[in-house]
Every structure is written in C-alpha cells, then in structure tokens.
C-alpha cells in the first residue's frame, strides 16, 4: 500500500516496492519488440516521488530546510519578480508545485554532472 500519512504535522511516506523477474507486452508496439527481463523503461513522473523522498531525508538530516530559497543551492535557478522585488522560492514550494515557475529547462550544459 503506497500512501502519504500525516503524523504530528510531519509528512510520512509509505512505499511498497514489488520486484518481478518477468515481463509481458511490448517494449515497442510498432516494431513488435517484446518486453524482456532486462527491458529498460522511462520512469517519467515517478521521479517526483523519489525526489520528494530524498529531499525529505535531507530535511530530517538538517542539510536542507523547507523554507530555504532554492537559489542558495542552485544560484542559476530562474528568478521570479513580484511587486518589483525578487521573490524567495522556498524548497517547499517546488515540492508541492506552488512556486509559480512554469517549466524550467536549462540547456544540455552540465548534463550528467553531479549538482552537489
């Protein structure tokens, strides 16, 4: 059972992971390529859950704070101006999709490099 639980105003995440050694269906329907045990799939939006879980661990370890401005860690992150001032964008607002920033795509520069 996957889910979110609120306990003492702390968000807890419950995840169950099933692993199987077989697959079915097609990896490529047009080419009729069948799924095999070693077929690689894109994980798409599931990465949002992984990111939130890992950032939550960093909160618990006091390495990040929910109200820290994201530009402390990523200075080139886009700035948003409100009433003539640059708005602080807390990490919390990125995790719950309320930052007001639409899509952020930096060119392939730095692709595959660690951000730490």
Q: Which residues are tagged catalytic?
A: 45
Q: Residue 46 and residue 32: Cα distance in Å, rounded? A: 26
Residue 54 φ/ψ, nearest 5 degrees = -70, -40
Instruction: Assess contact for 38 and 22: CB atoms under 8 A.
Output: no
The alpha-helical segments, DSSP class H, found in the chain are 46-60, 91-95
């Amino acid at each position: 059972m996957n889910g979110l639980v609120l306990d003492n105003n702390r968000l807890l995440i419950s995840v169950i992971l099933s692993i199987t050694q077989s697959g079915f269906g097609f990896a490529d329907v047009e080419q009729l390529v069948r799924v095999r045990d070693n077929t690689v799939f894109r994980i798409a939006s599931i990465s949002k859950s992984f990111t939130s879980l890992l950032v939550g661990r960093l909160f618990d370890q006091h390495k990040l704070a929910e109200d820290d401005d994201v530009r402390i860690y990523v200075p080139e992150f886009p700035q948003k101006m409100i009433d003539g001032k640059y708005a602080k964008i807390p990490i919390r607002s990125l995790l719950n999709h309320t930052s007001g920033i639409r899509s952020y795509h930096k060119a392939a520069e730095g692709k595959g490099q660690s951000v730490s």
